[in-house]
Structure 1
């Protein structure tokens, strides 16, 4: 009974943030005639305003994100072509990442370095977890088994570090940059600002669910090591 309760609590911790993010973005995702431009047009305007004319704004089927390698803002079709509060807030959020990059901000540089390293460790993790069952058979000594588990923990820990570095970058993009720009520029009405804040919070916490899953996997490996 206790195990079932703990399992349900764990499931809630993982699922609820993801559900809240999707619900918030959908809640404010309807197009409105009083919004003068699309998310793509706002992103282009803001990039030009911040002297970043060489940063393109492109549609993407991989979700809304800023690509530091291509130095491009990628927006989903709903955001790129939409005239909703979600489109406005998300576009401003992603442009803020381009501003962070252009300014060479320390937190963004730290995240970028860890993200590049994580790309290597993720590939290694994929190979490792496929080979792990076979390696476990070969690891007949306790020390070999401990070493095997330690590798799993190490690979997962890199992803946790990336997540920890991502959160302050995301929060700054939403509340340190996008929110002041939208407020001072009067891109949305004062009555809509609470909704915009909710969308910006959702945009900043998009990675939270994935981070929690990674932490659960890490805890499982650490428990095996004990």
Structure 2
């Protein structure tokens, strides 16, 4: 019974952050006639205002994000062309990542390096976990089995570190940069600031579920060492 409850609690901890993000985005996604521009137009305006005219604004179907390699702010079609609080807040959030990159902020630079490493280890991990059951058959000695598990732990640990490093970067983008930009520039009405804060909080939490899942997978492999 306790194991089942613990499992449900763990599932809720993983699912709820992602559900909260989707509900928050959806709640404030209706176009507003009093919002003068689209999310894409705001992103372009902010980038130009900060001297980042070389950074492109593009549409994407892979989730809103800033690509530091291609120097592009990418927004989903609804946020790119929408005139909603969600579109405005998400656009400002992603532009803030471009600012972090342009300013060479230490945490963002660290994240870039770790993300590049994680991309390589993810490819290795994909092959490793497919081959793991077969390798386990040949790992008949305790030392060989421990070595196998340690490889799995090491591969997952890289992704955990990347997701954990990402969280403070996301919160800085939302509340250290995007919120002051929107508030001080009068891009949204004061009455809408609570809604904007909730959208920015949701934007910062998009990586939380990934971090939790990575930690859960890492814990499963660590248990094999016990």
TM-score category (smaller protein): over 0.9
Alignment match, 1:116: 116
| Aligned match of 1:225 | 225
Q: Please list every run of 5 or more consecutive structure 1 residues that lacks an aligned counterpart in the other structure.
A: none
Query: What is the CA-CA distance between 1:168 and the residue it aligns to?
Result: 1.1
Which residue of 2 is the match for residue 148 of structure 1? Answer: 148
**CA distance, structure 2, for counterparts of residue 207 and residue 176 of structure 1:** 17
| Aligned pairs (5 A) from 1:21-60 | 21-60=21-60
Q: Tell me the CA shift for residue 77 of structure 1.
A: 0.2
Question: Within 5 A, what are the aligned runs for 1:128-147?
Answer: 128-147=128-147
Q: How does 1:7-26 map to 2 (within 5 A)?
A: 7-26=7-26
3-state SS, counterpart of residue 205 of structure 1: helix
> Equivalents in 2 of 1:57, 1:210: separation in Å?
26
Aligned-pair distance for 1:202? 0.4
CA distance in 1, matches of 2:197, 2:97: 17
Match of 1:187, SS state, is coil
Q: Which residue of 2 aligns with 1:96?
A: 96
Deviation of 1:128 (Å) = 0.3
Unaligned runs of 5+ in 2: none
Equivalent position of 1:197 in the other structure: 197
2:180 aligned with 1:180 = yes
Q: Number of residue pairs matched? A: 226
For residue 206 of structure 2, give the secondary structure of its aligned residue in structure 1. Answer: coil
Residue 164 of structure 1 deviates from its aligned partner by 1.4
For the residue of structure 1 that corresponds to 2:169, the secondary structure is helix
Match of 1:72 in 2: 72
